[in-house]
Amino acid sequence: MKKLTKIFSTLSVTAFAFAFSYSSAFAAISTWGATCQPGGVPTDIRQAIMNVTNWILGFIAIIATLVIIYGGVQYLTAGGNEDNVGAAKKTITYGIIGVVIAGLAYAMVIVVSTVILSA
């Protein structure tokens, strides 16, 4: 039960950190102003890079979340087999690491973009 509590608390902290970085990133983006043509095509290279980065990191975050769900299904269907439980825990751990890395990469892109814009 201790391990399960530890996993849930880790997931909660990770979800909070990811949600906080995501909301602060959108706050930073909203201050950039309109840099798109009427069709939505960016006129600024920084905005184009941000669009590509948003898409890639969003895709990575979705994949990492699916990996966590897959690990949960593995854990539920392990049937008490220690090898399967260990594999499920590894899968969940790797998924959490993926979500954390995607969140940190997104935050890093926002920080670098903000520094470039203020220069």
Question: Distance between CA 84 and CA 106 in Å, rounded?
Answer: 33
Judged by average pLDDT, the poorest of 10-14, 22-26, 115-119 is: 22-26
Cα–Cα separations (whole angstroms), residue 78 to 5, 22, 70, 74, 93: 19, 34, 12, 6, 16
Question: Of 118, 66, 116, 59, which is closest to residue 96 (Cα–Cα)?
Answer: 66
Q: What is the value of pTM for the model shown?
A: 0.59
Query: Given a cut of 80, is residue 24 above it in pLDDT?
Result: no
pLDDT tens-digit map of 36-95: 555 566 667 777 777 788 888 888 888 988 999 999 999 999 988 999 999 999 999 999
Question: Of 54, 50, 53, which is closest to residue 35 (Cα–Cα)?
Answer: 50
Cβ proximity of 75 and 85 under 8 Å = yes
